[in-house]
Structure 1
């Protein structure tokens, strides 16, 4: 005799109660119930989870690997002699006494360690801190810097430290290098301290590249809040050889003379071209006070 179906207190038969299997309430496995073959889907899910764990285990060393800098860099410290000290050393060649601060920077973590223990606000007047690619020194007289120059910005000390940190990151991250002409090169950045300001400078290889010179300006101005951006009179570009104290390295006098001759010829040609365009080309606009 067939077994009778279950009924409730009213005598109603619930055939659906035994026709549909009970559903398991699980977290994260709701997608398994979209198929009529639970065993297949469970195996697939377990396999997928195992693969994810496997991938995570393989990629873990890569994720924890120190992030290297594009180039090795060194941090140097030196003190600029006063004018009185320079007069006392008249006739003697001055060489900056560079002191390397800490080990060479090879990974980003090295940079943050140095940056943390070197507060800019404690650097005294006429002292300088520099961050240069390994193999280069922040000296005008370096043989490779005969045609080089630097873009310099005078900033209030209130924002100098913040802008300096940002500029260093742009230097070690190759952002500064990316805005230059392909044949040009960033050698480093420096921060000399003055009485009321920081003189932040970017040193590049070729001072005859106008587009590189302008690109360095725009790159740094992006890091300066609008209300603190320096006036045009507070930033400039200058060749190292244009400084009064510059001395051509031994053996390179002929190269320096040749470069000076080319620059003189280019300047005369430019002036001659302006004269050839007529007096209007040389017209000087009156100032507001005239």
Structure 2
């Protein structure tokens, strides 16, 4: 992590990013849509701005279930239907609660520092805090570009130094829309 921090301080962020937050009350059906529940926390366009924001954000281990933290490039909302996301999909990794915060931080630093291959194809990332596990997902623009999808998978695995025991799954957003689920019925494992 120290190496990544040094790399980040040597350059400006390539994109402007926005942190978003979603919190739902378990077991309570509301009249508001998912889109209405997404709250913008803060945006930043420099590495210094990132650190100012990030140092004040609550850590994943302190957030209640179910909560989603989103980091997306400016102009892209963390919704399947957003024009930048609608033809894309996401790589999904499930983590034990004890380690998810470290992987989330490593991924956030990689996105802000433009450290992943095919970075222009990346829309953002989500950490979904759930009761028994946390789920990290990286969203991309084009689910039909198999080469870019697989290269992104390889970059995520390499950058996060994922142990071989971790399963990484892919799901196109149009499939999520059809079955109304982000994480069920994934299509591709790698």
TM-score normalized by the length of structure 2: 0.77
Note the 1:1-290 alignment, pairs <5 A: 67-80=11-24, 82=26, 85=29, 89=31, 94-102=34-42, 104-118=43-57, 119-176=59-116, 179-180=117-118, 185-222=121-158, 223-224=160-161, 226=163, 229-232=164-167, 235-243=168-176, 244-245=179-180
Q: CA deviation at 1:189?
A: 0.9
**How far, CA to CA, are the matches of 1:195 and 1:145 in structure 2?**
27
**How far, CA to CA, are the matches of 2:147 and 2:155 in structure 1?**
12
User: Which structure has more RCO (C-alpha within 8 Å, separation ≥ 6)?
Assistant: 2
Unaligned 5+ segments in structure 2 are 1-8, 182-190
The answer to whether the 8 Å contact 1:67/1:109 transfers is no
Q: Note closer, same or farther for the CA distance 1:231–1:150 as it changes in structure 2 (3 Å cut).
A: same
- Secondary structure of the 1:101 match is strand
Q: Aligned Cα RMSD in Å?
A: 2.5
**How far, CA to CA, are the matches of 2:50 and 2:148 in structure 1?**
26
Q: CA deviation at 1:214?
A: 1.9
**How far, CA to CA, are the matches of 1:77 and 1:224 in structure 2?**
26
Kindly provide the CA deviation profile for residues 203-255 of structure 1, in whole angstroms up to 9, marking residues without a partner as x. 100001222222222222232453xx5433xx211111112238xxxxxxxxx
Structure ranking higher in strand proportion = 2
**How far, CA to CA, are the matches of 1:180 and 1:136 in structure 2?**
17
Kindly provide the CA deviation profile for residues 106-160 of structure 1, in whole angstroms up to 9, marking residues without a partner as x. 1112222222222121121111111111101101121332211111110112221
The answer to whether the 8 Å contact 2:68/2:128 transfers is yes
Aligned residues: 169
Unaligned 5+ segments in structure 1 are 1-64, 247-290
Q: CA deviation at 1:174?
A: 1.6
